[in-house]
Chain A
């Protein structure tokens, strides 16, 4: 099997191509009916390799019906691949039909696809589950010959990946003969991906084809000409240098880390755009039409640059991109390489990329990433067990497809790798949850969604349940969003509701690449007009920040520890570290440096632990709990990849006990249950599991204050049924994702007796970037009431306790305009930033 059959051989020859070894390897595997995981760098002809066997089979034996199902994490990618696939099929005159099916596919085409499915269907995990949830799934997939999962590394290990794994397990039952093909970018650990793809959950059942190499990328770090910022992640100081680079290249993708950053960089570039270069903006909050327009312009070569977030991370082929600029720290080596690979989509030429760190810490991070790339070391997380919330959604979907026996469904889902270790007990509880809520108090008999017949088969109650499922299916939980609509004009996109709630009419903000004036709020959208005065704000999005891979954090730590390694760093950063050594101290290899200082009416404590954000999250909870007990009145904390910072109402004088090993012994669980982090997890889990709905039939226009508050449900459930499956799922997620107790234990043991506490008059150079981080956690407890009392007393004092003083006081209190969680910013920041974290309402009648 060295040469391709006609017309494929001629088609390859016609373009001067020869089939690559991995393309032939996938063909051979397909001929043997084997499943294969192909790991290849960008530009390796991966997609064609995945489809070639299907095209050859269909060319040899044309037939109606679905032959190959392609699943991609991105709608846009499915559309793009369909386009790329249609060309060779047309050129070879093959009788193969190709169609996409995503959330954007119109209703009539979906109906037609069910009646007359194409040979090759390109879709997303969500749309696949919808197909599997329909009673016709059996007929539709019966003749399926192959499933191609693209960008599998971006799906495995996520909740969408869990959902897809369950979908694949169902497909295996409907079409036992279908082979699987996984396409992945280069990863550190291929074994979990093999397991993910495997029909048995065991990696051995999947053949591994790995393409090594490609030319090494050419990376450089670019600093702003002027002052190198201390903090912030925007990178605006480098805008002139970025612009100069745009002028020097044909087509550039400017990658940034958050949507807010995309807006800011885009604006900054346009302010400099004297040459009128065609620069566009692409991020996930813009409307689909707008994104498609940008993508089309890019593909047609009409753009010189596009400023993009992760929305352009994955494999869409942009043709002639010859330069990638990464603004802000890359956060992970694998991700950096993926982005760099967007330039020069050919394997044999090196990709060129420029890293633009936004602050001093990020410079160190970029240096660490460059070192890692040089040593060809990749990072990656070990697999985690599948979420029970995703399983709940799947169970309901399968019931909608047709009656099932619990024994059979259990056997089926445990063949999906993420659920291989799922216990029958958990499965049964999830099933009970879907049936009637699964509460110990069995009062919802009348409202059951599922019922069991005499044979023990589980049926869905009625069509309404199926409709509800269809409206809420998916595992991506966003904060409540509001449409942004131009007065008398179109919708520009969506921003998070909390952000709008912090605006007053007349305030301006930057969105969709323009400055907008907020005018009013109607039922479902924020009405805006163009223009606007004053200092515009930028919407931030919760959860937008990417955690640094812990592995990269370790490299950063090494560089800081060892002044000999400072030669990797530019002078301003070395200067910064020298300043830290003079003003405070450098974190030592085995000790623990802790700084405390007053700032903005509270006391900050910064501990340089370098254990990664996840361990720091847990440690932050424990330390603040101890602070509460010692009467320091902790108000909140923040975990970055390098440090934990806490702030409190009173000065933490005695630091040793805060990091004593016995903090692990205290009722960790109860304390964690109160945390904002677990509340957030619960909201996500309750939404995915179907307890809280994103959409409800007939209720699309619900007034916002009537939406069910997950916090209230969490409090009631925790008090009355603490062992409910959803609370167990919440704790499991927290334990899997966050509680690295062993690691914290080691840190505390190492630090014992070696804590160096420095009481400073002001923030230290090294602490500045951390204090400007986002993603704060709040501390529940008495501190909040203490603050209320203080604020109240302040107001009373200012007015001498007079009874009629409303207007005076309105001036006083509104003049303050404090935002939750805002930390005082250094004065030289580019723009005033406000917290993205607005406190949600606590339990009604809290006492």
Chain B
């Protein structure tokens, strides 16, 4: 796996093809939209999806943690699919989560799906985390902002035209002010970067980094006024 460096607000950040962002200077790893226990949330409404999504998501996260060995992990909200999700996390998965932290500090930024702190799990919950020059929040704040916002929420995906047709992948989105992470959860779908809700946050255009098996593929996106929203 080859991560890609980007520079924002004078700092160097690494984008990992697994879908996590790392701030090496602070040994900090960011992951967005885990949507743990989405399967059981659906099951509660009669849709009995395979109950392996949390296990799958955490196994993938464990691999990323082993690669980077961060001191601090920031989960950018919607870590659980619903407010009761943390309580439904099977004991085996909760134990696995505690073990994979390996002494690292865990920060739960709260999201719209999980507006309350997860009970009985390690880590502290915050509405947003300010760590100058960066601010880590669930949903990007529209309009002009100072450089250095790291967010999730939108599950961005992009389609790159190739000589054999378009290839669609989840992606990071970045401009000089913001970085947006792809959703990490096993059952999370994506929202196209051409959607007005997303394009509007990057009025001066952006760069999409599509997730590949071993590396990222970068795709420039036009300013939203030039693109058809």
- On A, residues with C-beta under 8 Å from B are 433, 436-437, 439, 441, 443-444, 446-447, 449, 464-465, 468, 504-506, 600-602, 635-636, 647, 649, 690-693, 696, 705-709, 712-713, 715-717, 719-721, 724, 782, 784-785, 787-792, 795, 805-807, 809-811, 813-814, 816-822, 835, 838-847
On chain B, the residues within 8 Å of A602 by CB distance are: 163-164
B157 within 8 A of A: yes
- A705-B155, A818-B161, A839-B167 known; A439+B213 contact, CB < 8 A: no
Neighbour of A706 across the interface among B56, B182, B189, B219, CB < 8 A: B189
On chain A, the residues within 8 Å of B160 by CB distance are: 788, 791-792, 813
Give the nearest-CB partner of A717 in chain B. Answer: B50
CA distance A842 to B170 in the complex (A): 8
On chain A, the residues within 8 Å of B204 by CB distance are: 806
**6 chain-A/chain-B pairs, Cβ below 8 angstroms:** A601-B164, A716-B53, A785-B217, A806-B222, A807-B223, A847-B214
B130 within 8 A of A: no
Q: Min CB distance, B37 to chain A, in Å?
A: 10
Q: Min CB distance, A527 to chain B, in Å?
A: 14
Give the nearest-CB partner of B90 in chain A. Answer: A443
- Cβ A792 vs Cβ B217 within 8 A: yes
- A817-B161, A818-B163 known; A712+B186 contact, CB < 8 A: yes
- Cβ A691 vs Cβ B49 within 8 A: yes
**Which of the listed residues B50, B55, B219, B227 has the most CB atoms from chain A within 10 Å of its own CB?**
B50
B150 within 8 A of A: no
**Which of the listed residues A708, A790, A835 has the most CB atoms from chain B within 10 Å of its own CB?**
A708
B177 within 8 A of A: no
15 more A-B residue pairs beyond the given contacts A705-B190, A720-B50, A819-B166, with a C-beta to C-beta distance below 8 A: A443-B90, A444-B51, A447-B48, A636-B164, A691-B47, A708-B49, A712-B189, A719-B56, A720-B55, A787-B167, A788-B167, A806-B220, A818-B161, A845-B18, A846-B213
CA distance A707 to B38 in the complex (A): 12
- Cβ A813 vs Cβ B220 within 8 A: yes
Neighbour of A724 across the interface among B50, B191, B212, CB < 8 A: B50
7 tightest Cβ-Cβ pairs between the two chains A and B: A810-B222, A806-B205, A437-B48, A820-B165, A720-B52, A845-B19, A787-B162
- Cβ A468 vs Cβ B18 within 8 A: no
On chain B, the residues within 8 Å of A444 by CB distance are: 40, 43, 48, 51
CA distance A814 to B44 in the complex (A): 43
Give the nearest-CB partner of B185 in chain A. Answer: A844
* Proximity string of chain B (17-51) to chain A, C-beta cutoff 8 Å, 1 when within and 0 when not: 11100000000000000000000101111111111
B136 within 8 A of A: no
- Cβ A782 vs Cβ B213 within 8 A: yes
On chain B, the residues within 8 Å of A647 by CB distance are: 164
Give the nearest-CB partner of A693 in chain B. Answer: B47
CA distance A792 to B210 in the complex (A): 10
Q: Min CB distance, A312 to chain B, in Å?
A: 35
Chain B residues 197 to 229 lying within 8 A of chain A, measured CB to CB, are 204-207, 210-215, 217-223, 226-228
- Cβ A835 vs Cβ B165 within 8 A: yes
- A708-B42, A712-B187, A712-B189 known; A810+B48 contact, CB < 8 A: no
B80 within 8 A of A: no
- Cβ A720 vs Cβ B169 within 8 A: no
CA distance A838 to B40 in the complex (A): 30
On chain A, the residues within 8 Å of B112 by CB distance are: none
Give the nearest-CB partner of A705 in chain B. Answer: B191
CA distance A649 to B163 in the complex (A): 10
CA distance A466 to B228 in the complex (A): 44
Neighbour of B1 across the interface among A600, A636, A692, A847, CB < 8 A: A847
B168 within 8 A of A: yes
On chain A, the residues within 8 Å of B162 by CB distance are: 787-788, 790-791, 818
On chain B, the residues within 8 Å of A813 by CB distance are: 160-161, 219-220
B15 within 8 A of A: no
Give the nearest-CB partner of A808 in chain B. Answer: B220
Q: Min CB distance, B160 to chain A, in Å?
A: 6
CA distance A190 to B50 in the complex (A): 42
* Proximity string of chain B (145-180) to chain A, C-beta cutoff 8 Å, 1 when within and 0 when not: 000000000010100111111111110000000000
Neighbour of A839 across the interface among B46, B56, B168, B221, CB < 8 A: B168
- Cβ A847 vs Cβ B17 within 8 A: yes
On chain A, the residues within 8 Å of B205 by CB distance are: 806-807, 810
On chain A, the residues within 8 Å of B207 by CB distance are: 806
- A708-B49, A810-B226 known; A821+B165 contact, CB < 8 A: yes
Tell me the interface secondary structure of chain B in the complex.
loop
CA distance A720 to B58 in the complex (A): 13
Chain B residues 117 to 162 lying within 8 A of chain A, measured CB to CB, are 155, 157, 160-162
Q: Min CB distance, A234 to chain B, in Å?
A: 22
**Which of the listed residues A504, A506, A795 has the most CB atoms from chain B within 10 Å of its own CB?**
A795
Neighbour of B18 across the interface among A439, A712, A784, A847, CB < 8 A: A847
CA distance A842 to B182 in the complex (A): 13
- A601-B164, A818-B162, A841-B170 known; A716+B189 contact, CB < 8 A: no
CA distance A789 to B157 in the complex (A): 17
- Cβ B56 vs Cβ A716 within 8 A: yes
Neighbour of A791 across the interface among B42, B161, B192, CB < 8 A: B161
B184 within 8 A of A: yes
B60 within 8 A of A: yes
- Cβ B219 vs Cβ A795 within 8 A: yes
On chain B, the residues within 8 Å of A636 by CB distance are: 164
Give the nearest-CB partner of B48 in chain A. Answer: A437
On chain A, the residues within 8 Å of B213 by CB distance are: 782, 785, 846-847
- Cβ A839 vs Cβ B222 within 8 A: no
CA distance A370 to B201 in the complex (A): 62
Q: Min CB distance, A709 to chain B, in Å?
A: 5
Q: Min CB distance, A124 to chain B, in Å?
A: 25
CA distance A300 to B186 in the complex (A): 57
CA distance A433 to B17 in the complex (A): 36
Q: Min CB distance, A57 to chain B, in Å?
A: 44
CA distance A818 to B168 in the complex (A): 12
- Cβ B169 vs Cβ A447 within 8 A: no
- A602-B164, A716-B186, A788-B167 known; A437+B221 contact, CB < 8 A: no
- Cβ A810 vs Cβ B49 within 8 A: no
- Cβ B19 vs Cβ A844 within 8 A: yes
On chain B, the residues within 8 Å of A822 by CB distance are: 165
On chain B, the residues within 8 Å of A696 by CB distance are: 45, 47
Give the nearest-CB partner of B209 in chain A. Answer: A792
- Cβ A845 vs Cβ B182 within 8 A: yes
- A468-B46, A807-B226 known; A819+B165 contact, CB < 8 A: yes
- Cβ A788 vs Cβ B222 within 8 A: no
On chain A, the residues within 8 Å of B75 by CB distance are: none
- Cβ B189 vs Cβ A504 within 8 A: no
On chain B, the residues within 8 Å of A814 by CB distance are: 222, 227
Give the nearest-CB partner of A840 in chain B. Answer: B168
CA distance A787 to B223 in the complex (A): 25
CA distance A696 to B46 in the complex (A): 9
On chain B, the residues within 8 Å of A845 by CB distance are: 18-19, 60, 170, 182, 184, 211
Q: Min CB distance, A138 to chain B, in Å?
A: 26
On chain A, the residues within 8 Å of B40 by CB distance are: 443-444, 447
On chain A, the residues within 8 Å of B182 by CB distance are: 844-845
Give the nearest-CB partner of A785 in chain B. Answer: B212
On chain A, the residues within 8 Å of B170 by CB distance are: 841, 844-846
- Cβ A839 vs Cβ B211 within 8 A: no
On chain A, the residues within 8 Å of B166 by CB distance are: 818-820, 838-839
- Cβ B212 vs Cβ A846 within 8 A: yes
- Cβ B51 vs Cβ A443 within 8 A: yes
- Cβ A787 vs Cβ B164 within 8 A: yes
Give the nearest-CB partner of A689 in chain B. Answer: B48
On chain A, the residues within 8 Å of B190 by CB distance are: 705, 841, 844
CA distance A301 to B167 in the complex (A): 51
- Cβ A720 vs Cβ B56 within 8 A: yes
B183 within 8 A of A: yes
On chain A, the residues within 8 Å of B184 by CB distance are: 844-845
CA distance A309 to B185 in the complex (A): 43
Give the nearest-CB partner of B228 in chain A. Answer: A504
